[in-house]
Amino acid sequence: MVTRHYKTNLDTFHRVEEMYNTTKPIVSKKHPLHHDIRPLGPRTRKWERVKKFSYNCYGLMDGGSYDSLGKATLQYHDSGTPQPKDIKEEKKFAPILWTYDGTRERIRIRNEIGDYTHTIRNTMLENAVPSNMQFYCHNGKQYITSSRRNHDVYYLPKGDYFLEFEREVNTHLWHICSDTYQYVHPKKRVDKKLKAKIKPYSDKLLEYVVSMYNILPSTDDDYFNKTSEELKEHCGYWLNRYTCHNHDLSDVICDPEWHRHVTSLFQCEMWHYLRDRQPWGERKAVQNKLGGDVDLPTLRARYNSFINQYCQLISTIAGSAKIIKREKTK
């Protein structure tokens, strides 16, 4: 549940039509009569309202993207929120759109546009979907179920996507009549061409790391800080596990003069990695020694990740919605 302020009980098209006809519009100095603001629930939540597009089409609005009255009804309105060019675009992006053709009624549901959290839209959908549907959030994604038994769960992506359901008049269950969607998780990709170019240098550095790992200090914060300071003077910026995604270490890796400093940076990374895998009371016992608590396969694996991160070899493909086509209902 997001924030339940009220429940509209708008379960049919005729109930939506009735609410529009029986709700007195808000009229004030800020809202003239032609704004036609008819709240869905408490009149203090005036951005959540029912809007008449035609005699057989009503929208449930929330003052969000492409809402012509969003700026007027929301107390805190983002100046970057898209505004509709005309009534058709406002209708297209209505959060909930009810239509009726005489024998069937349809409900179309939309998420918001941006990638961030949209509390107003989430709250509105939770409050205003029919009672035999459910809106909920899980792991940062939004879903619609078409029955209380949660047998039919549909992912509702952000952006220019929608879910549309229909049913015959005087029937209870909804049937999906639009495309559905499957969330595609973000993927990380390594630039293999760039990695091949620096491989001769990274291999030489790996040989140095293996040969000097137990000779150089491996658990000394003062030594790590000293070498980091020297790297900072050379590069012009701090290099550590918190800033590695902002800077490219390729030039330093290719220079044997700085192998000791890069090895120290890698040892510090390995030390934190080993300590984080131990119970709190046993972290001081980590020796960070090759042949002891560090074996060669683990060192190679961590070194590979180290090179990928510090040489900016990794790119991320953002998560997306895969469209699953569905034959249109005739």
Residue 86 and residue 211 share a domain: no
Token pair belonging to 244: 């590695």
Please report whether residue 4 resides in a domain: no
Please report whether residue 301 resides in a domain: yes
Residue 129 and residue 83 share a domain: yes
Residue 300 and residue 280 share a domain: yes
Residue 100 and residue 246 share a domain: no
Crossing angle of helices 296-310 and 259-276, rounded to 10°: 110
Residue 146 and residue 203 share a domain: no
Residue 306 and residue 274 share a domain: yes
Residues 6+ apart with CB under 8 A from 192: none
Please report whether residue 264 resides in a domain: yes
pLDDT: which is higher, 4 or 193: 193
Please report whether residue 330 resides in a domain: no
pLDDT: which is higher, 150 or 61: 61
What's the number of domains the chain is made of? Answer: 2
For residue range 71-92, what is the model confidence (pLDDT) as tens digits?
877 766 677 788 899 999 999 9
Residue 98 and residue 239 share a domain: no
DSSP-derived secondary structure letter, 219: S
Residue 282 and residue 151 share a domain: no
Please report whether residue 250 resides in a domain: yes
Please report whether residue 38 resides in a domain: yes
User: What pairs with residue 141 in β-bridges?
Assistant: 138
Domain around 115 = 13-185+320-324
**pLDDT class of 330 with cuts at 50, 70, 90:** very low
Nearest to 40 by CA among 15, 67, 60: 60
Residue 158 and residue 128 share a domain: yes
Residue 34 and residue 178 share a domain: yes
Please report whether residue 48 resides in a domain: yes
Residue 228 and residue 156 share a domain: no
For residue range 261-319, what is the model confidence (pLDDT) as tens digits?
999 999 998 998 999 988 988 888 889 999 888 999 999 999 999 999 888 899 888 88
Is the pLDDT score of 1 beyond 60?
no
Nearest to 202 by CA among 326, 311, 292: 311
Please report whether residue 157 resides in a domain: yes
Residue 171 and residue 291 share a domain: no
